[in-house]
Structure 1
Amino acid sequence: MTETDIQDPAPLRDRLANGAFLAVMVLARLLPYRRRVAAMGWFFAHVLGPLAGWRGRIRANLALARPDLSAPEIRRLTRAVPENAGRSLAEIYSGTEFTDRIHAADPLGGAGLPALEQAARAGRPVILAVAHFGNYDALRAALSGRGWPIGALYRPMNNEAFNRHYIPAMRAIAEPMFPRGRAGLAAMLRFLKGGGWLALGFDQFDDHGAELRFFGRPTRTVLTPAELALRYDALILPAAGIRQPDGLGFRVQIGAPIPHSDAATMMQALNDDLERLVRAHMEQWFWVHRRWKRRA
């Protein structure tokens, strides 16, 4: 019996929203992979994005971070950002059609790849600092395709019904995955201490984080990736699955390792690295997040 077999029924609102999503996915899965990914991108760009209010949030964030952008470029991004999200979700739910493509391409590269290969040979723990950029599951698929021990920490979605298929879909790409919470954290730390590799996000506002800068503006940034790297002498480096111009392929970029110093300095270096990446591929970062919240 699995954990999903013994869960209580999800709230009605969650079940209705989940049912609508599953109906869309059933229709999308009737299409060949290439058309499925494109269709989900179109649906997010032209239907879900406007309904969810994403365009307004994207404009607000761009006004803060990139006030220099032209009106046509802003309009483009209000569609391109949700499109990338839709494509990513279609890829996650495509299972081996997605992972087999990544494994066959072996798209790993970047200045940090030799250090990562050395860590694999030495059995050294690794922290891969990832963002909501491109499709970071392309990174997990690429690493697992080489047989490397990549784990991830995740926060279950608020919609309980959605979680019951979303989390298994994520686990099918690479395991282990650790849920936020005491038990998940304890298992994650054992994994890391034993030489495991962890993909940890750092690009969302964190109420308890340090006030660092991103796109020249102050924002609270989680320190956990750097703190764990210091505690367990883990290699820490930025990593991203960069979507290619065809909309289907990826270049999985491993950035240069971040030197160990203090946690805030290390995380600022990661913020700076992500900013350079986002500026080069503006449509691939999830500009919907409230990255620059104002604290009361």
Structure 2
Amino acid sequence: MTPTKVNPTGSKLSKSPVSGRRGALRLLQHALEVTAFRLSMGLMRLLPLDVASALGGFLGRTLGPYSNASERAARNLRLVFPDMPDSERRRITRAVWDNLGRLGAEYPHLAEITDPRSGRLELRNSGPVTDHVKSGRPAIVVSGHFANFEAMHVRGARELVRTATVVRDPNNPMIRDALEHFRKVGGGERVGKGHQGARSLIAYLERNFCLTMLVDQRMNRGITADFLGHPAQTPTAAAQLALRFDCPLVVATMERKRGAHFIMTLSDLIWSEQTVDRHQEIARLVGEINQRLGTEIRRRPENWFWLHRRWSEEVYAQAGL
């Protein structure tokens, strides 16, 4: 490999040919991906919402089962529901892919889905957190990857006005701006994950914003807590911030009723105990969040995103999976 040349001050003058080619190929790959994304979103935008959602669902449940991620979903389902028939696991997995396809096709229609006048998203028990936030105090809404979780965030921004949503930036940075175009229709701010994002969350809470975040995926730097009957590394940021700012937590769930119609349900305010041991209180709050999310997942397993590896390899091995 040709080494990178430097000038006497130590700054780089040129990159090696290999790294340059790799960078060019990566740039080309990103450009092709974002082009395909924009074309597909443009097509879905031209279609009526119900047609776009149905087409996305058809593509998802037709193509998705051939992905390696389907085996991951089956493994997760065997872990959580060991007595479930294989036929039911296959049905749930197809439903998960159906929902994922619909979610993708529904991006250009988030404004319609989340518009209260459309009647497509029924909001239940929003009073407690809405009154709290509108009184000028901060709150934290946590949820999981249920149904169209993007619509959940957008509707939350419409309802609560001062919101900041934690989002995971896509691996392709060119797609980030395209996603932001759809996510911003309800207002609010978006915060990327990571150290800088964590500092931003503190700043938003100091300004009495409502934070919204998904907390159902594995995080290696979290704490071990029961999730669906098995120990799982679980993020603690929501609990830590609720304790630090003495603000309530709210657990939100999202259910796809039929097609592009949804029910979003918010829990009552969950307050931290400021007088107990901090670490124990964080563990208690994390456990309560996991329990509430787990109850919803067990109630409607086809409504949750089973495709990611939620538990450690040790947990799978202990279950013989």
Q: TM-score interval w.r.t. the shorter chain?
A: 0.7 to 0.9
Q: What is the CA distance between 1:77 and its match in structure 2? A: 1.2
The one-letter code of the counterpart of 2:313 is R
The reply to whether residue 171 of structure 1 matches residue 198 of structure 2 is: no
2:6 matched residue in structure 1: none
* Structure 1: distance between partners of 2:302 and 2:134: 36
CA distances 1:44-86 after superposition (whole Å, capped 9, x unpaired): 2212x23542211110111111112112211111210011112
What code does the residue aligned with 2:231 have?
Answer: P
Deviation of the 1:25 alpha carbon: 3.0
Supply the distance in 2 between the matched residues of 1:29 and 1:117 (Cα, whole angstroms). 31
1:20 and 2:36 matched: yes
Q: Which of 1 and 2 has higher RCO (CA within 8 Å, sep 6+)?
A: 1
Contact map agreement 1:95 1:172 (CA 8 A) in 2: yes
CA distance, structure 2, for counterparts of residue 150 and residue 58 of structure 1: 32
Unaligned ranges ≥5, structure 2: 1-22, 274-280, 316-321
Provide, for residues 107-150 of structure 1, a one-character-per-residue CA deviation record: whole Å limited to 9, x for no partner.
2213xx34213313431211001111122233333333335322
| Residues 187-202 of structure 1 mapped to structure 2, 5 A cutoff | 187-202=200-215
User: 2: CA distance between counterparts of 1:158 and 1:139?
Assistant: 23
Aligned position for 1:291: 310
Of residues 259, 263, 281, the one that matches 1:251 is 263
Which AA in structure 1 matches 2:34? N
How many equivalent residue pairs? 285
Decide which structure has the larger Cα Rg and report it.
Answer: 2
TM-score, normalized by length of structure 2?
Answer: 0.81
From 24, 42, 50, the counterpart of 1:34? 50
Cα pair distance change 1:285/1:102, threshold 3 Å: farther
Partner Cα separation in structure 2 for residue 103 and residue 197 of structure 1: 25
Give the conservation status (yes or no) of the 8 Å contact 2:223–2:235. yes
Shift in alpha-carbon separation, 1:142–1:27, aligned structure 2, 3 A: closer
The question of whether the paired residues in 2 share the 8 Å contact of 1:138 and 1:241 is answered with no
Aligned equivalents of 2:44 and 2:131: distance in 1?
A: 41
Ranges in structure 1 where 5+ consecutive residues have no aligned partner: 1-7
What are the residue-to-residue correspondences of 1:1-296 with 2, within 5 Å? 11-47=27-63, 49-100=64-115, 104=119, 107-110=122-125, 113-244=126-257, 246-261=258-273, 262-294=281-313
Output the amino acid matched with 2:123.
L
Change (3 A) 1:218 1:184: closer
SS at match of 1:94: helix
Partner of 1:116: helix, strand, or coil?
helix
How high is the sequence identity, in percent, across the aligned residues?
A: 28
Q: With structure 1 as the length reference, what TM-score do the two structures score?
A: 0.87
